[in-house]
Amino acid sequence: MIIDIQIDPRFAGKVNEDRLRCLIAQALELEGRSEGELTILITSDEQIQELNKRYRSVDAPTDVLSFGAMGNEGAFVTSPEASAYLGDIVVSYPRAAEQAQEYGHSVEEEIDLLAVHGFLHLLGYDHETEVERRAMWARQEHILKMRGEAHFTER
């Protein structure tokens, strides 16, 4: 498993990379994935807003974005030994800090929640319908409970 974590210099030292890497590695295992690569970017509201505008036509910041690589199968030639690249997760640190305060838990816990949420999107989970939302939120809660964290995922 390769989990690349990139942090905007403004938030360096505020994010525990080892904690985040361990959480996503555990999530990969819980989802039956012994292999996989992904990138997590912790960034600003301005950068996530630009990505949201460019790729979703929504000119506003958001808490997390996921860019799955599944749709690009066959686009790149890789060696048979290479892990499947799942995609990128982008988290807004300022939005995570704001939501942590709103929901009464730590910024680390909020970043965990957003990273798991983004990770599940990379695997194809969605929340467009009530049935999909319940399935995704249940899976999200299960992964976080395995880590011993309680979250208010019903938002």
- List Cβ neighbours of 85 (8 Å cut-off, separation of 6 or more): 36, 37, 38, 69
Q: What mean pLDDT comes out for the span 107-136?
A: 94
Secondary element (H or E) of residue 90: strand 85-92
Phi, psi of 40 (to 5 degrees): -120, 125
Q: What is the mean pLDDT of residues 110-127?
A: 95
pTM of the model: 0.88
pLDDT band at 112 (very low <50, low <70, confident <90, very high): very high
CATH of domain 2-146: 3.40.390.30
Single out the residue of 96, 135, 126 nearest to residue 143, CA to CA: 135
Query: What pLDDT was estimated at residue 72?
Result: 46
Give pLDDT, residue 83: 66
Q: What are the C-alpha distances in Å from 16 to residues 19, 69, 111?
A: 5, 25, 10
pLDDT digits (tens, 9 = 90+) for 27-82: 999 998 878 899 999 999 999 999 999 999 999 999 999 999 865 444 455 555 55
Where do the structural domains in the chain lie, given as residue ranges? 2-146
Q: Which residues contact 11 (CB under 8 A, 6 or more apart)?
A: 42, 43, 44, 93
Strands lying side by side in the sheet with 64-68: 2-7, 37-43, 85-92, 64-68
What pLDDT sits at residue 151? 56
Predicted confidence (pLDDT) per residue in 72-86, tens digit: 444 455 555 556 899
Question: How large is the angle between the packed helices 17-30 and 107-122, nearest 10 degrees?
Answer: 40
Helices (H), 57-89: none
> Rounded distance, CA 129 to CA 131, Å?
5
